[in-house]
Amino acid sequence: MGRLFGTDGARGVAITELTCEMAMQIGRAAALVLTKETKHRAKIFIGKDTRISSDILEAALCAGICSVGAEAVQLGVVPTPAVAYLVRTKGADAGVMISASHNSVEFNGIKLFASTGYKLPDATEAEIEALILDHPEQIQLQSGTAVGAISIYDSAREDYISYLASCVHTDCSGMRVALDCANGSSSTTAESLFTRLGAEVHMLSASPDGTNINKNCGSTHMENLMEYVKTHDCDLGLAFDGDADRCLAVDENGVLVDGDKIIAICAKALQQEGKLKNDTAVVTVMTNLGFFHFAKKHAIDAKATKVGDRYVLEEMLAGGYNIGGEQSGHIIFLDEGNHRRRRTLRHQAHGDPEKIRQGNERAGRRDGNIPAGAVQRHYSGSQKGTLAGGRRDRCPY
């Protein structure tokens, strides 16, 4: 990790650790480093989650960006993937997401994106850190008409929702889908998206008030969604974290389907379709040992990186692979139009009868968070049907 940036941006207790002054300096340094090759006035998109501190840090970031001559474009409350998508497709020179992801409300963070929509490599983050911590005198402020302006991208959410909907070539009419939005960013997008796809949507924890993000809800507190899916006869449950860049699922029996399982299901399905590039899935060193057993059994090469979805992405790009992710629910598809929700819905409908072993008493889990032998069950079909081997045929892909 760097001096300011960890595995997923800069993060700390908002205002006292991640201060307004630091946010302003990050805005300045990021604008200078990420747009130094541009020949025009640089444009930087800024998204945020629902934390009470996000507006404050947004103001500080915008001030920093504009003070060095770049333009700051506010996207409002959007999921982190929306920032990545909009930066890449709408001509922005860089992007920023203000969020502490799955952490509680007192924390906040700043994630940076290049013009490609990808998170920054370590070397670029180190350059930004050095400018802030070692050479702040090199930050040249502008004045007069050279300062940047702040504007608002009013249709950011709608543009992102429309794009996701265009990637799902299916009619989900009749499916009952429960969505736990963690009182975070997906509260502004998830219901509209899944309703547009034709699903009957049941919303949980989708009433953010600035203080309740991730509070006993979302992808770090799955128990409410698991119970809700069972008691309300839902076909599927999806839980997001605060900035909606990770997603865990619940099958119709109320059983958790974590990121490792989602990757296994999708990698096997891609392989069966002849679309798994180089027969490889990219995971991390924290991935459950059972995944590696599953991959070996099905002739899938499982490559492990250090923890962090950006390292998974770097390996995917370097090796030409098209699926990867983390147990926590960061799932990455590099094929055009392939998205986590699309794949999850598809394989909820068609099923994958194969089992993924979850480890055993001797192997346990690599991360050590759950004792060996405490995993719930194998991936297999049941009489009612599950994400891995279900009866659903009413949402054909």
Count of residues in the chain: 397
115 is catalytic: no
Neighbours of 7 (CB within 10 A): 15
Strand residue runs (E) in 259-350: 280-284, 301-305, 323-325, 331-333
How far is the C-alpha of 137 from the C-alpha of 144, rounded, in Å? 20
How far is the C-alpha of 82 from the C-alpha of 75, rounded, in Å? 9
How far is the C-alpha of 102 from the C-alpha of 104, rounded, in Å? 7
User: Residues 47, 9: contact at Cβ < 8 Å?
Assistant: no
User: Residues 123, 82: contact at Cβ < 8 Å?
Assistant: no
Catalytic residue among 101, 115, 187, 219: 101
Neighbours of 387 (CB within 10 A): 27
Buried (b) or exposed (e) across 68-81, using 16+ Cβ within 10 A? bbbbbbbbbbbbbb
User: Residues 202, 239: contact at Cβ < 8 Å?
Assistant: no
Nearest CA among 92, 95, 61, 66 for reference residue 78: 95
Active site amino acids: 101
